[in-house]
């Protein structure tokens, strides 16, 4: 048998796991792997990114879209630290991902060699770390074992990221090992006794509420969840930035439980006597800073279903904790027999009515009507479009007003960082289009876009297309909002001097247009949908329009009045 080098074997291992795309910034520490990508270029594509943060966000988006680990390659030291933002996002968002880090040669290790660092301590596997597992591959013959274990760890239990460190001299050594077979995620099924207890709790309830979300959902599990909800006529909410888990058009949908939650829905969470949390880890954003659901023991009866046994009872002491993956859990729930009559039909109907009422916008100043912009997007974007965003108040327009069909119709349609990472939307949209060929739409803020806007070059180089609506209000809007609340009229650090975004997009090879009035948006969107290359539509937004519900001046005035009263 002719020997091959470990770098080529690594690519063969990825192919065995069904990987079609890997995202990264090339580095001299893993040249042997890059040569492997060249060798197998007809079967797997290495997507050359412009910064490791953008590359890791693309891999995280890949994990969300496919349910299998997204793949990212970076070089040692600065490459790894730049990529850490995507690893942290994958950890808090429960997304399967594998980050491969080219490292210093074994003979120079532990001398503080060029760009050397301790990856185990940096990525720190723990409940407060960034990765589920961090391992260094010193023996090239064991490379298939390490890759297979990385995939298994990333997919099983609570999905998340794994980091594999690759010494550059190891990658050039000849090997005889072969890739191991493709791994599938293991399904954990609900305990039958726990399901009987859950049914008894439902029968005793008067105001039940479902919160669905987290990682691990598929079309099959989303459809099973819908059948369960229909059988029991349960109001269903989606957890923060998992708004495609349950069909927003459905009569049982009650809204999303996250940042900027509708006041009526927030009160409904408080008033519920039974919360069925199916999939989410119940983090700070979904629980309103641990106030809608008080930690560690909720006022409401709590049933928590999660894919990780370690997550159950970690923050919240549930009345019933069920360890199950989403496919298994939803299929178990849909066969629970419901009685002919249920006492909460009025509760369910009013929950959906509150959701519809929350879609009615407040009147805000300026020449741009953002609810009308979102309505235009709802009208023209295809049902399978992938919608992406980073972090900032700008994202709340889509979160509040756009209605996802989502997974129940066969497609994941929302890619958004529950970790609250800025700069996610642009690379995630590009990755979504490259991976699926579906339309990718990104909403970005001016500050958010400039975090990873250079990845437009990646899209153009690799034949990708996304449509970006960039809301330009000349500031870091979320921070300015908080400044006015806490230190009114003391503005420091949140103002922005911006480039000509339309011209910048054109420089990268995108079309770039600017609109200053709502009336110009629909034509700009239709043009963007029709043209072959990507488009950036810069929307000049009045700085007063700081949230979907109020103005910056109103926040300032309220803060000043509060100070005066306190003084």
Of 64, 68, 130, nearest in space to 101 by CA: 130
pTM over 0.85: yes
- pLDDT tens digits, residue range 155-209? 999 999 999 999 999 999 999 999 999 999 999 999 999 999 999 999 999 999 9
Can you give the pLDDT at residue 127? 63
Beta pairing class for 174-175 and 4-5: antiparallel
Residue 210 has pLDDT above 50, yes or no: yes
- Give Cβ neighbours of residue 488 (< 8 Å, ≥ 6 apart): 555, 556, 559, 560, 563
476-487 pLDDT, tens digit per residue, is 999 999 999 999
Q: How confident is the model at residue 126 (pLDDT cuts 50, 70, 90)?
A: low
Which helix H or strand E contains 74, and what residues bound it?
A: strand 70-74
**Quick one: pLDDT at residue 2?**
54
Cα–Cα distance list, 338 to 202, 250, 443, 472 (Å): 9, 20, 41, 50
With beta carbons less than 8 A apart as the criterion, state whether 246 and 406 touch.
Answer: yes
Span 85-116, pLDDT tens digits:
999 999 999 999 999 999 988 888 888 888 88
Domains identified in the chain and CATH numbers: 4-175 (3.40.50.970), 192-354 (3.40.50.1220), 370-562 (3.40.50.970)
Determine the pLDDT at residue 36.
Answer: 98
Give the span between the Cα atoms of 137 and 295, in whole angstroms: 41
pLDDT in tens, 435-466: 999 999 999 999 999 999 999 999 999 999 99
Q: Could you give the percent of the chain with pLDDT greater than 70?
A: 99
In the chain, count H helices and then E strands: 21, 20
Give residue 1's pLDDT.
Answer: 42
Q: Which residue has the tokens 């550059």?
A: 168
> Is the Cβ–Cβ distance between 101 and 127 less than 8 Å?
no
Say if residue 342's pLDDT is above 80: yes
Question: Tokens 């119940």, residue?
Answer: 282
Determine the average pLDDT of the residues in 414-435: 97
β-strand pairing of 274-278 with 301-306: parallel
239-275, pLDDT tens digit by residue?
999 999 999 999 999 999 999 899 999 999 999 999 9
Residue 112: predicted pLDDT: 85
The Cα–Cα gap between 320 and 197 comes to 8
pLDDT at 333 over 60: yes
The Cα–Cα gap between 250 and 352 comes to 9
Residue 504 has pLDDT above 80, yes or no: yes
Model pLDDT, residue 221: 97
Torsions phi, psi for 533 (to 5 deg): -95, 170
Note if the bond before 237 is cis, omega within 30 degrees: no
Mean pLDDT over all residues of the chain? 96
């Amino acid at each position: 048998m002719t020997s091959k080098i470990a770098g080529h074997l690594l690519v063969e291992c990825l192919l065995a796991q069904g990987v079609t795309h890997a995202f990264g910034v090339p580095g001299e520490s893993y040249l042997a792997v890059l040569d492997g990508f060249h060798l197998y270029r007809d079967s797997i594509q290495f997507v050359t990114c412009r910064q490791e943060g953008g590359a890791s966000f693309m891999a995280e988006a890949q994990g969300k879209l496919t349910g299998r680990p997204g793949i990212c390659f970076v070089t040692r030291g600065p490459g790894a630290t730049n990529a850490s933002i995507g690893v942290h996002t994958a950890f808090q968002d429960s997304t399967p991902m594998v980050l491969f880090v080219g490292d210093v040669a074994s003979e120079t290790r532990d001398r503080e060699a060029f760009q050397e660092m301790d990856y185990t301590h940096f990525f720190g596997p723990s409940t407060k770390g960034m990765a589920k597992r961090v391992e260094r591959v010193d023996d090239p013959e064991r490379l298939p074992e390490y890759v297979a274990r990385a995939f298994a760890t990333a997919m099983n239990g609570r999905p998340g990221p794994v980091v594999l460190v690759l010494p550059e001299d190891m990658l050039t050594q000849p090997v005889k090992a072969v890739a191991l077979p493709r791994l599938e995620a293991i399904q954990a099924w609900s305990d039958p006794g726990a399901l009987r207890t859950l049914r008894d709790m439902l029968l005793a309830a008067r105001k039940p509420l479902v919160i669905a979300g987290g990682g691990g959902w598929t079309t099959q599990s989303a459809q099973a969840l819908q059948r369960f909800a229909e059988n029991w006529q349960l109001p269903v909410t989606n957890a923060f930035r998992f708004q495609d888990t349950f069909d927003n058009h459905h009569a049982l949908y009650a809204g999303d439980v996250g940042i900027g939650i509708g006041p009526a829905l927030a009160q409904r969470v408080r008033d519920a006597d039974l919360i069925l949390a199916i999939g989410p880890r119940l983090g700070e954003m979904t629980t309103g800073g641990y106030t809608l659901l008080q930690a560690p023991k909720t006022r409401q009866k709590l049933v928590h279903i999660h894919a990780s046994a370690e997550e159950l009872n970690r923050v919240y002491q549930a009345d019933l904790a069920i360890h199950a993956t989403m496919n298994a859990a939803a299929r178990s729930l849909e066969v629970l027999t419901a009685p002919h009559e249920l006492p909460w039909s009025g509760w369910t109907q009013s929950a959906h009515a509150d959701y519809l009422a929350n879609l009615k916008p407040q009147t805000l100043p300026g020449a741009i009507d953002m609810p009308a912009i979102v309505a235009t997007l709802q009208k023209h974007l295809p049902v399978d479009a992938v919608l992406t965003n980073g972090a900032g108040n700008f994202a709340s327009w889509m979160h509040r007003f756009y209605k996802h069909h989502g997974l129940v119709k066969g497609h994941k349609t929302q890619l958004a960082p529950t970790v609250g990472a800025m700069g996610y939307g642009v690379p995630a949209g590009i990755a979504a289009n490259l991976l699926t060929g579906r339309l990718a739409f990104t909403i970005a803020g001016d500050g958010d876009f400039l975090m990873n806007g250079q990845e437009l070059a990646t899209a153009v180089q690799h034949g990708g297309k996304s449509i970006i609506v960039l809301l330009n209000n000349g500031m870091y809007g979320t921070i300015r909002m908080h400044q006015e609340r806490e230190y009114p009229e003391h503005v420091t650090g949140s103002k922005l001097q911006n480039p000509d975004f339309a011209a910048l997009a054109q420089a990268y090879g995108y079309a770039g247009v600017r609109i200053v009035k709502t009336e110009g948006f629909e034509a700009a969107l239709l043009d963007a949908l029709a043209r072959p290359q990507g488009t950036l539509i810069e929307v000049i937004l009045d700085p007063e329009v700081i949230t979907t519900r109020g103005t910056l001046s109103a926040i300032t005035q309220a803060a000043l009045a509060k100070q005066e009263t306190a003084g």
